């Protein structure tokens, strides 16, 4: 059957060919042919003029390596350094400051002289007490001699027993006065010693609060100077109540180490030992107070400094760590982009642990040796080709 006959049969089926006049049949055939040609032309035009997809260039990224090493288990906190011995020096006598015997900021030892209060009044009091003692000693000798002479007389009934007892009483009273004089002398020496104000501890002096010539009151007067022990310091900090069981358990097994760094020099780390846990939880803050001892022989630390603290509880053996900058957060949690051997990005969901310097512990999702993207994650998708740039 020829092509023309095939078309005629199709038209007969669709348009009931036998019932259509010849003139109309020719018009319908012409319209169909025209539509077919237009449709074919449009399709060919779209095919040959479709836009060319641009070639996707590799994305520039920086990478790091997942490593494995032992990592300490710790609790982060903040605290303040404090001096174990912190003394405000005051005068224990009233008088005029005669001399200052130290320089501000000087290291002093226990017993070093700091101030001299004018001792004139207290020297005079001591002299007076000593003179009174001498007078009473002479009086005691005289009354003792009288008593001895009258002891023989009372035996011969030349004086009454009552008169003899008066002589005995005079001797006893004078002897008591002598003991009182000795106490007055001791007290005068104490007050005279208070005129020479000594450092009670080994430590560092602060700012001098009085000048020579100032009159100071005993005990209630101004602080003359502050002295702090600085070769050993306390590290006072708190931890949340929920961490207390872990700390107590670890402390029962061994002495816990504390690592701290002070504001302004976070790169320098100092170590101490946990010595004390408060015997109660603060019910207002839900925290527990802890104290560690930190050696400070080189005086690199200063009392009152604010510090970051890590309380070390133990060690994670062979922990997997990834660069901290590689970790991203998404709807499914933390993830990283790894780089395959074919330099294509792959997305991996991970479980993270504590941070360790510039790394973070990976509890699940990665293994040591894998390459992870540390810079250039913006716009990166799984399967995208990457170009590795040197780390800056």
At residue 167, the pLDDT reads 80
* Sole residue written with tokens 């104490």: 190
DSSP code per residue over 102-158: S-TT-EE-TT-EEEEE--HHHHHHHHHHHHHHHHHHHHHHHHHHHHHHHHHHHHTTS
Higher per-residue confidence, 25 vs 7: 25
Look up residue 362 and give its two tokens. Answer: 């990976």
At residue 266, the pLDDT reads 79
Task: Please state, in angstroms and rounded to a whole number, the distance separating the CA atoms of residues 308 and 168.
Answer: 77
Domain ranges of the chain: 3-48, 60-70+318-388, 74-84+229-316, 89-226
Higher per-residue confidence, 147 vs 378: 378
Pairing of strands 345-349, 287-295: unpaired
At residue 53, the pLDDT reads 55
Average pLDDT over residues 216-223: 92
Task: Please state, in angstroms and rounded to a whole number, the distance separating the CA atoms of residues 151 and 165.
Answer: 10
Give me the chain's average pLDDT, please.
87
CATH annotation of 74-84+229-316: 2.40.30.170
- What are the tens digits of pLDDT across the range 113-123? 999 999 999 99
- Whether the CB-CB separation of 61 and 338 falls below 8 Å is answered with no
At residue 326, the pLDDT reads 92
Task: Please state, in angstroms and rounded to a whole number, the distance separating the CA atoms of residues 178 and 162.
Answer: 25
At residue 155, the pLDDT reads 74
Which parts of 31-105 are beta strand (E)?
Answer: 59-65, 67-82, 86-89, 95-100
Furthest-apart CA atoms within the chain: distance in Å: 191
Average pLDDT over residues 207-230: 94
Yes or no: domain 60-70+318-388 corresponds to CATH 3.40.50.880: no
* Sole residue written with tokens 């130290």: 102
- What are the tens digits of pLDDT across the range 258-273? 999 998 887 899 999 9
Closest CA to 303 of 233, 225, 226: 233
Look up residue 390 and give its two tokens. Answer: 């040197």
Output DSSP code: residue 343.
S
- What are the tens digits of pLDDT across the range 148-179? 777 777 677 777 777 877 888 988 999 999 99
- What are the tens digits of pLDDT across the range 58-75? 888 899 999 999 998 999
| Three-state DSSP state, 182 | helix
Look up residue 18 and give its two tokens. Answer: 């036998």
Least confident of 99-113, 219-233, 349-363: 349-363
Look up residue 207 and give its two tokens. Answer: 């700012």
Q: Do domains 60-70+318-388 and 74-84+229-316 have the same CATH topology?
A: no
Whether the pLDDT of residue 18 is over 60: the answer is: no
Output DSSP code: residue 344.
B
- What are the tens digits of pLDDT across the range 272-305? 999 999 999 999 999 999 999 999 999 999 999 9
383 conformational bin, left if phi > 0, alpha if psi -120 to 50, beta if neither? left
At residue 6, the pLDDT reads 44
| Three-state DSSP state, 318 | strand
Whether the pLDDT of residue 3 is over 50: the answer is: no
DSSP code per residue over 235-253: EEEEEEGGGHHHHHHHHHH
Fold of 89-226: OB fold (Dihydrolipoamide Acetyltransferase, E2P) (2.40.50)
Higher per-residue confidence, 19 vs 350: 350
Whether the pLDDT of residue 32 is over 90: the answer is: no
- pLDDT band of 5, cuts 50, 70, 90: very low
């Amino acid at each position: 059957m020829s092509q023309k006959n095939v078309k005629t049969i199709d038209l007969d089926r669709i348009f009931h060919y036998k019932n259509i006049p010849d003139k109309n049949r020719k018009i319908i055939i012409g319209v169909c042919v025209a539509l077919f040609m237009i449709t074919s032309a449009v399709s060919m035009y779209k095919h040959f003029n479709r836009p060319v997809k641009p070639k996707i260039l590799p994305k520039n990224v920086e990478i790091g390596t997942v490593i494995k090493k032992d990592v300490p288990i710790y609790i982060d906190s903040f605290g303040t350094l404090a001096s174990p011995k912190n003394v405000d020096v005051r005068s224990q006598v009233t008088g005029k400051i005669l001399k200052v015997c130290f320089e501000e900021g000087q290291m002093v030892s226990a017993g070093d002289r700091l101030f001299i209060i004018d001792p004139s009044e207290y020297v005079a009091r001591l002299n007076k007490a000593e003179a009174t003692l001498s007078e009473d000693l002479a009086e005691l000798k005289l009354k003792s001699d009288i008593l001895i002479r009258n002891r023989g007389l009372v035996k011969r009934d030349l004086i009454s027993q009552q008169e003899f007892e008066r002589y005995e009483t005079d001797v006893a009273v004078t002897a008591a006065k002598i003991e009182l004089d000795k106490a007055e002398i001791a007290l005068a020496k104490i007050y005279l010693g208070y005129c020479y104000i000594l450092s009670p501890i080994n430590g560092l002096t602060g700012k001098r609060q009085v000048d020579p010539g100032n009159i100071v009151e005993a005990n209630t007067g101004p602080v003359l100077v502050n002295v702090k022990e600085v070769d050993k310091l306390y590290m006072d900090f708190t931890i949340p109540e929920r961490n207390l069981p872990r700390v107590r358990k670890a402390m029962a097994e061994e002495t816990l180490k504390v690592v701290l760094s002070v504001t302004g020099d976070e790169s320098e780390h100092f170590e101490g030992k946990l010595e004390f846990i408060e015997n109660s939880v603060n019910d207002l803050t839900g925290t527990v107070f802890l104290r560690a001892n930190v050696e400070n022989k080189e005086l690199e630390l200063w009392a009152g400094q604010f510090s970051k603290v890590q309380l070390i509880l133990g060690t994670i053996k062979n922990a997997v760590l990834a660069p901290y900058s590689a970790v991203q957060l998404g709807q499914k949690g933390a993830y990283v982009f790894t780089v395959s051997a074919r330099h294509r990005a792959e997305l991996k969901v991970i479980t993270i642990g504590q941070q360790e310097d510039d790394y973070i512990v990976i509890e699940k999702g990665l293994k040591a040796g894998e390459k992870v993207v540390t810079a250039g994650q913006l716009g990166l998708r799984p399967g995208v080709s990457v170009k590795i740039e040197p780390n800056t």
